[in-house]
Structure 1
């Protein structure tokens, strides 16, 4: 087996690979140069510089491509999957770096360290201006309990802090660390002396901290954000810092980077760093070691830890089962865009021709779809099942009809603390996927692109009003589906659309009489 490392990689990772395989390190190759030599290798290891294009992949005989880091935007994953090449990454290598940076910022802002350092460098001996506060006995609110959030909690507990945490997808009694109290979002905001954020930037988390949320926080609260810029509305934060409602904040990320024109960095009660959360020598070594070990597992035919794509289906079944995997993931993603609540159970119900297959990959795809909108780092088809189990989610499968001549149908049924919900779908001829039901509403939805869903009473005029609002905002409608429970009863309208729907347009739709809600959906 031969391995090519085409970007700068920590020597520790290279040494691990050399113990098992022949390794060549050739960096700064052009696409043409890489295409010329890639047929000679079984594995390719990259960071962010090398662009692993479809042309390179098609020329290769690779079994695995490894990315020493989280993002795989520089790899044509679809092309790799189509050719049966496994893609692995290293999402855990920067966990310690990010959590340590969070604690470092917390302590820096609590003890006024940056300002005190600058004062002394300016030849001033000013002790009174920099009196800090102790963190021992204070309450740290943690929003998001993924790998980094949990590690921050462990470190803060070691400092003697009390931990309140909010994560809508974790139930308190499933946590191993009993010192973490999981509660609702509002309770965390109201009762925390410090609040730190460890969530991905999504439609749901964008500006999740705004004026209303800040208003219910303790006076002089301290905020820390090492996750993603855009989680906090920076205008609202600036006003709160100036007024003194927020005592201080520490920021490693900004909505627009670099934030050189941001007024936040000029405030004396702001500690800011230039997106350094993962910037440690150890983190770079960790991701190199992590990806090297997965390369070894892959080339030895073992189960890998961090697969980005999915090639565990038997080759002879791949083309038949692939559309069901795609459908299940779309259904899972749709669920978390429509519903909320703490998930306790996911049941996948199968009937028809799909029952002749091993349905586990389909179930995992549905779980991946659900978790994608929940986690700071996107899950994959290898770790999604484990991540769900870690969150106390029970997963089950049931085959209710094994008539293999009947169309293959799958139903995703989810139980939360707010009740049960279900989404059903099927695969037609030529691998055309459809979502056929949402709860009791029968529909025929193509789960691709964008959709607008409105819940309303079935009466004349609503469809026209919604269509007019979209037209007035230059949003084109591709198709329409209407499902209803009864004549003049509750109805669900689905509009396939060609453009994104801004929040202000959704709010206008929600103001229409008898419309209970309107949601923009991305597939």
Structure 2
């Protein structure tokens, strides 16, 4: 079938060739305004953009033939995802295509800092010849600590091994097998901070990781450590970093990203121990070539055979099926988010079991909703019903789905377990009651019943008097109102489990 493809911004010639080889009409334009896009988009089956072309809701609503939007790159801020989803248009991007480029930039920063390359270059150009001022350090035998062992972190680890470095990593959400294959030892964050000669950040930005490199973390670092950040600027408390640089605990910082870009913190930029670059880790000819080729291949594969790779939105279900599944999709996502936040294990496996009336429905999207709930607590990239399984696979997390005919106390029941490589398990169960009421009904095999709400608090404590009153006092003093409180006890340990729903978020200070 002939297709019309609009390439609204320049991509690699190899990408254009991939589309033309399919026998399609490829129209390459550039610098289109939203109005110009709206005027012509109705003629196309697919559109490929980079970051400059804006696909507004008006333009997407005018795209009567459009089946897929391809973004050559990761961010999709220039695409109205809600409008695309409403139109049943698939939106896909190319995350991870720049991993090698970012990893190489990371090592460029490391080498410049340990060998004082930039300062030495400037000295020579001033007519000086001060060799004694630029005594450096070898990388061989040094310990590199990676905070985050995703695609970029893995590429950095490979290169570090070539330099003869010992590599350790902290990543609660990566499987042990991936680390072992790279000859990387997974360690607690505290151990990494205290033993690394060089620390490189490759973590996702989440509530838990925002500002993770602050005063406390820096105080635990080895004196004379080198800190590299090519991930997200918000991972670092920049004032704390300045204090660490001034004190000498941090011997040098290589920064490609900043909390605010362009950065306005001149003290940090001009610090003699800081090497700064303007967020160019992914800016290589090869990375740009790769994203253009990959998005063209993804678009071709989808249009020819329906294969979906790196989708960032949710395709429309038939109205009847969507209506029927809606409460179970919501239950699945909330159960996944809840168990991910209370988990005490590093998940290598997610087990999902369905009971009752769920034995007779299409549970595939429900499982994806559970994965969304779990993975959104781990990652700061887009996770949705289309790409959730691929994201789990990338983290080497196995997904096991089963159905059971065993009679339970509810008409429908979803059981979710997170298991680690040693067989330790976290376990929750939930159900949909009448009128779509979502209930949490079990934690670690201990029965209780409480609504699944926006703000919840889990308390595990020794089963002794006075705990409930103390919790109420603490929350009351913080002006946090309790909506529901479910208490249960049981299990192998003499422990009690309490779950509360509250009307507002509880601060970290109160939780501590």
Instruction: Decide whether aligned partners of structure 1 residues 139 and 28 sit closer, same or farther in structure 2, where only a CA change above 3 A counts.
Output: same
Where 2:414 maps in the other structure, the secondary structure is strand
Instruction: Decide whether aligned partners of structure 1 residues 435 and 44 sit closer, same or farther in structure 2, where only a CA change above 3 A counts.
Output: farther
Q: 2:77 matched to which residue of 1?
A: 73
Q: Give a deviation string over 1:80-135, Cα, whole Å, max 9, x none.
A: 33332211111022111111110110111111111112222333222221121111
Where 1:470 maps in the other structure, the secondary structure is coil
Distance 2:52 2:121 in 1: 37
Q: Give a deviation string over 1:348-367, Cα, whole Å, max 9, x none.
A: 11123222233233223322
Q: 1:15 matched to which residue of 2?
A: 17
Q: Give a deviation string over 1:269-318, Cα, whole Å, max 9, x none.
A: 21111111112222222211111111101111331221223449678744
Distance 1:49 1:320 in 2: 39
In angstroms, what is the RMSD of aligned CA positions?
A: 3.1
1:299 paired with 2:308, answer no
Q: 1:517 matched to which residue of 2?
A: none
1:239 to 243, 253, 256: 243
Tell me if structure 1 keeps the 8 A contact 2:158–2:182: no
Where 1:289 maps in the other structure, the secondary structure is helix
1:6 paired with 2:8, answer yes
Q: Which moved more, 1:67-76 or 1:438-447?
A: 438-447
Distance 1:434 1:55 in 2: 40
Distance 1:427 1:53 in 2: 37
1:132 paired with 2:136, answer yes
> Please, what TM-score do these two structures have when normalized by structure 2?
0.87
Following superposition of structure 1 onto structure 2, how do residues 262-273 of structure 1 map, counting pairs within 5 Å? 262-273=266-277
Q: 1:348 matched to which residue of 2?
A: 352
Distance 1:203 1:284 in 2: 30
Distance 1:403 1:32 in 2: 59
Q: 2:88 matched to which residue of 1?
A: 84
Distance 1:468 1:228 in 2: 36
1:40 to 43, 53, 70: 43
> Please, what TM-score do these two structures have when normalized by structure 1?
0.85
Distance 1:377 1:144 in 2: 14
Q: Give a deviation string over 1:216-256, Cα, whole Å, max 9, x none.
A: 32221111111111222222222222222222121111222
2:472 to 447, 463, 467: 463
Where 1:300 maps in the other structure, the secondary structure is helix
Where 2:428 maps in the other structure, the secondary structure is strand
Q: Which moved more, 1:222-231 or 1:71-80?
A: 71-80
Distance 2:57 2:297 in 1: 25
Distance 1:322 1:285 in 2: 41
Structure 1 portions without partners, runs of 5+:
472-476, 511-523
Q: Which moved more, 1:454-463 or 1:49-58?
A: 454-463
Q: Give a deviation string over 1:415-456, Cα, whole Å, max 9, x none.
A: 2469422233334566565544444363443455x5555667
1:481 paired with 2:484, answer yes
Cα offset for 1:374? Answer: 2.1
Following superposition of structure 1 onto structure 2, how do residues 106-505 of structure 1 map, counting pairs within 5 Å? 106-175=110-179, 177-311=181-315, 317-375=321-379, 377-389=381-393, 391-401=395-405, 407-416=411-420, 419-428=424-433, 433-439=438-444, 440=446, 442-448=448-454, 450-451=455-456, 459-460=468-469, 462-463=471-472, 465-470=474-479, 480-485=483-488, 490=496, 492-497=498-503, 500-504=505-509
Tell me if structure 2 keeps the 8 A contact 1:483–1:493: yes
Distance 2:134 2:340 in 1: 46
Q: 1:49 matched to which residue of 2?
A: 52
Where 1:55 maps in the other structure, the secondary structure is helix
Where 2:351 maps in the other structure, the secondary structure is strand
Distance 2:470 2:142 in 1: 55
Tell me if structure 2 keeps the 8 A contact 1:146–1:376: no
Distance 1:251 1:93 in 2: 21
Tell me if structure 2 keeps the 8 A contact 1:157–1:163: yes
Distance 1:7 1:334 in 2: 41
Distance 1:44 1:445 in 2: 43
Cα offset for 1:323? Answer: 3.9
Instruction: Decide whether aligned partners of structure 1 residues 431 and 48 sit closer, same or farther in structure 2, where only a CA change above 3 A counts.
Output: farther
